[in-house]
Structure formats: structure tokens, C-alpha cells
Amino acid sequence: MDLTHDEILEKLSNGEIRLFEIEKYTKTANEAADIRREFIENESGVKLEHISKYSIDMTDTAKKNIENPIGTVQIPVGVVGPLVVNCDDDEDINTYVPMATTEGALLASVNRGCSAIRKAGGCNVSILANQMTRAPVIKTKSTKDAAKLKRWINEHFNEIKKVAETTTSHGKLLKIDPIAIVGRYAYPRFVYDSGDSMGMNMVTIATEKALEFIEGENDIDVIALSGNFCVDKKPAAVNMIEGRGKSVVAEVVIPKEIVEKTLKTTTEEIVEVNYSKNLLGSAIAGSYGYNAHFANMVAALFIATGQDPAHVTEASLGITTAENDDGDLYFSVTLPDLPVATVGGGTRLETASESLNLIGAKGSGKVERFASIVAGIVLAGELSLIGALAAGHLASAHQKLGR
């Protein structure tokens, strides 16, 4: 039943309609968002002038990406590059890359790193793994029963795999490992290949189906579909070791002359800063991020391309290395836990689609290209920041460019 704009506002004020029900009484989701925002403005006394201005269509967005929409938040988007990446199997990459951030100096720094990489002939990127995980927690009668369940899962993997894969045409259950035991609780880590999607919803549904089969064959209780051993959206050693999402390594050899002219420092100074800061400093802090600022580049790319920004928490795990290679600089970044997608989720948003199209990474078959670009940009950002620290330029750059 359609109601007028004013009738809906009146019913909202009287409590006859709840905020999430507005779409039932309007012709379009965009109209519902406008009415919801006006109600919030009336209730709060705050005019949402800029949140109200957007170009995306709320029709699918309200169904798939957000509840109770009232508008959008705008974040500045800039470009860096061109970034040159030499890939394992795909054609080489040479592209400008969009990044969304409010941190002054970030894009200028990454751009300098891209320049150094480009002058060195590009960076090499290898995709080591593609795996998304879900790890439930299961309660058994005793620790002996927990060990028995572990053996049963290993022995019946093929049956479990068949059941899990009935829920998806794309996801493939690769293994259930490790299976951790704590007292009488078991934590089996289901590991899937999720194709071009990030896959969290896919593997959750598949694991739920598999658990129904496991529970039907064993005297157990499934306590929770997620037992925090996945580990989703949290920093964790298991993700550093086992990997999650895409596991990616990027490397470059920067000739001595380029280190000195472009980064304004020396190979020896960069190696020492990386060793003392990223390795020793991170170790004494108990950090899982043996790097300078992976999160900066990952977050800016994730926001621009419609990735889940909460995954920055785990995607910022990783290690930066720097070595003196006969005077030249060998520099690398390892990202073991990069949950990314080129289909589904936020990638369908109009602005995200444009950003992904800009780098040629929109749609099926493009996720490895996208992961390679993320790794290349992280490499560029790390290289530039460590170079700035070695040269003593960090504070002056932020003072000049924004912070």
C-alpha cells in the first residue's frame, strides 16, 4: 500500500510505522531513504545536507548492502601510478589506481613508491593461495570424544565435502584443517576456494549444511557456526601462518641509483630502518603486523572498490623485508590474509564498479588481478614510507601535504 510522503512521516512519529518498514509504503527505495532521512532530521534537529546527496541507486543497495539507508558518506578519491606489476600467469599490469582516504600525504607517498617501482621495471607479484575459512565450535562429551570427532571428520572428508558443495556452484571445500581441540570443544577450520567472490557468506552457508551432516552422524552439539578460529575480521596468528583470502607476495629490486635519486636515501639506510622498525620494533610490541603501514593502502583501496572495510583488520597482517643486493635494494611485502572480491557484496555499488573498471578488475576472472594490484600498492606505500623515515623526511612531508 502506497502512502504519501507526509502520511508516512506522521505514522513514523506516531509509532505506527517503524524505520525499517518504510519501503513497504513507497514506490522506490530512493524515496524511502529520503523519507527516513527527513524523519531523522526532524527528530534530531540536524540537517543532513551532504549525506542526502548521492548518485547510487538504493534499490539493490537497500536489499543487499545496508538497512535503514538515509544517504551516503563521501570520501575523497585520488589516483596513484601508473603501477607496473609483472604477474605470474596473467598479462602484466600497467594502470592508475584509485584510493579513497582523508589522510594528507598518503597518496603522494604511494605515488613516489609507484615511481620507484616503475623506474625499476616493475614489481613481481605471486598469488600463493585463495582460501576463505569458517570454523565452528562443537561441544562433545569429553576430550576423548573430541579427539574421536577429529578422526571422524578426517576419515569422512569426501562425504562432508559433497554435502557442503551442494549449497554453491562456485565454492569448493579444500580441506578441514587444522582441527583444534580445547578440553571437550572442537574447532574444525573449514577451508574453501571461493572463486572471484570474497566468499564469507558462501562458506558460512556451506559450512552450516556440512555441520547438519556431521551432527547427524555424531553425538555432538554445535555451539556456534563461528568459533573465532576462522579468524574473521580480527588479527590472529593462525591467519598469518595458514593464510586467509588471497595470500600474496610482491617484490622489487630497486637499483642503487633510483634509491638515491627517487627515495633520497641509501640501500643500507632502508635495510636498517626496516630491520630495526618493522622486524625488531614489531617483535617487542608483540605485533602481528611486521610492517610500517599496510593498513593505510589496504583501507584506501578497499573503500574505493567496495570491499568490506572491516577486513582491513586482518589484511594489515604481514611482513616487509629489505635486503642489500650488491648495493641495490631488494624489497618485498607478504600479505597472507587478503580477503578481496571482484563480484558480489559492495563491488556492485556504482562508485565501486567505476573504480574496479578503472583498474580492469571488475567481474568474474579478475580477482587475481585485483589482489596483485593491492599487493603492488602496498609495496609502493611501504617502500616510500621506509625511504622517508630513512631520509628523515616523514614529518616535513606531512607538514607540507596535510598532516
3-state secondary structure 356-382: HHHCCCCCCCCHHHHHHHHHHHHHHHH
Strand pairing report for 93-100 and 77-87: antiparallel
Average pLDDT over the chain reads: 93
What pLDDT digit, counting tens, does each position of 138-172 carry? 999 999 999 999 999 999 999 999 999 999 888 89
- What pLDDT band is residue 304 in, cutting at 50, 70 and 90? very high
| Cell triple for 352 | 565501486
Q: Is 293 a catalytic residue?
A: no
Q: Is 218 exposed, middle or buried (0-12, 13-18, 19+ CB in 10 A)?
A: middle
Q: Which amino acid is at 219?
A: D
Is residue 31 pLDDT above 50, yes or no?
yes
pLDDT of residue 395: 45
Is residue 106 pLDDT above 70, yes or no?
yes
pLDDT of residue 327: 95
Q: Is 6 a catalytic residue?
A: no
What pLDDT digit, counting tens, does each position of 109-146 carry? 999 999 999 999 999 999 999 999 999 999 999 999 99
- What is the CATH number that goes with domain 136-224? 3.30.70.420
pLDDT of residue 403: 55
Is the Cβ–Cβ distance between 372 and 247 less than 8 Å?
A: no
Long-range CB pairs of 274-280 (<8 Å, 24+ gap) are: 274/320, 274/321, 274/322, 274/386, 275/322, 277/386, 277/389, 278/319, 278/320, 278/386
pLDDT of residue 171: 85
Q: Which is the catalytic residue, given 41, 308, 323, 328? A: 308
Q: Which is the catalytic residue, given 90, 272, 354, 398? A: 398
Is the Cβ–Cβ distance between 58 and 30 less than 8 Å?
A: yes
What pLDDT digit, counting tens, does each position of 51-85 carry? 999 999 999 999 899 999 999 999 999 999 999 99
pLDDT of residue 88: 65
Q: List the one residue out of 396, 388, 386 whose CA is nearest residue 276.
A: 386
Q: Which is the catalytic residue, given 41, 103, 165, 323? A: 103
Q: Is 308 a catalytic residue?
A: yes
The domain limits of the chain are: 5-64, 77-129+235-401, 136-224
Q: How far is CA 162 from the centre of its chain?
A: 29
pLDDT of residue 402: 57
pLDDT of residue 242: 95
Element (H, E) at 224: strand 221-224
Q: Does domain 77-129+235-401 have CATH number 3.90.770.10?
A: yes
Per cent of the chain over pLDDT 70 is 96
